[in-house]
Amino acid sequence: MQQKILSVQNLTKSFVMHLQNGLQLPVMDGAGFEVFAGECVVLGGPSGAGKSTLLKMIYGNYAADAGEIIITHGDQHTDLVTASPREILRLRQSTIGYVSQFLSAIPRVSALDLVAQVARQWGHSEEVAQEKAAKMLGQLNIPEHLWGLPPATFSGGEQQRVNIARGFMGEHKLLLLDEPTASLDAANRQVVLSLIEERKANGTAMLGIFHDADTRDKVADRVIDVTKFAVQRAA
């Protein structure tokens, strides 16, 4: 039996739109599930069901109204719902990674440095970090002549892949995958799939959103349908 990394219990979330006369938007009520080391769980359900909201709450990017999000790190368990900003930031450094195509651009740092930075944060020497970053960029088909340039000058697709490279460069125990393969060409999608397989093999717990059914079938050990957590809205 693999270790439980993430445990979500009774999670509730609604948005209050103050600029629209206090409009209440209940999104989720009583969400509960678990993710274990070495598995990739995919969130299913139609658009608007709350997949992204759920993922963002688990990253601490959205605040839950009630319930628990227990993260296991080392021999400790932390509830993200009540954790202080500082604890959340530490967990993001140590335990919870987020792989997305979208990240704030960081001006004037070369793509290679940007990715190597992450490896350095994980304790690798400058030399090893550079090596790992180069390998990752190569894998994701970023042309070598671009490595020394800041991604701000890259094409949209290239920027996305730099962000994915950064996401996979970390060694987090829990990886949140926010549609990492969307809009990638077949070759690069295959690269991401094999990165996910690698992580599974080394015991990373993954929770992701994949719109493309084909990809989802390939990576998912389980699919959790979030519609069952969604608040049933009166018609």
Partner 1 sequence: MSLDQDLPLLSVKNLSHFYGQHLGCKDVNFDLYPGEVLAIVGESGSGKTTLLNCLSTQIIPTDGAVYYRGRKGQSDNLYEMSEAQQRILLRTDWGFVRQHPRDGLRMNVSAGANVGERLMALGDRHYGKIRDTALDWLEKVEIQVDRIDDAPRTFSGGMQQRLQIARNLVTNPRLVFMDEPTGGLDVSVQARLLDLIRRLVAELGLSIIIVTHDLAVARLLSDRIMVMKDGKVIEQGLTDQVLDDPHQAYTQLLVSSILHVGS
Which residues are near partner 1 by CB under 8 A? 15-19, 56, 60-63, 85-86, 88-89, 104, 106-109
Residues contacting 235, CB < 8 A, separation 6+: none
Residue type (1 letter), 225: D
Which CB atom, from 22 or from 235, has the smaller least distance to partner 1?
A: 22
Q: How far is the CB of 141 from partner 1 (least distance, A)?
A: 27
Tell me which DSSP letter residue 79 carries.
E
- Cβ neighbours of 41 (radius 10 Å): 21
**Strand locations in 55-183, DSSP E?**
66-73, 76-79, 96-100, 174-178
Q: How far is the CB of 205 from partner 1 (least distance, A)?
A: 22
Which CB atom, from 108 or from 145, has the smaller least distance to partner 1?
A: 108
Q: How far is the CB of 57 from partner 1 (least distance, A)?
A: 9
CA distances to 77, 166, 205, 206 from 6, rounded to whole Å, are: 9, 22, 8, 9
Q: How far is the CB of 85 from partner 1 (least distance, A)?
A: 4
Which CB atom, from 23 or from 125, has the smaller least distance to partner 1?
A: 23
Which CB atom, from 63 or from 66, has the smaller least distance to partner 1?
A: 63
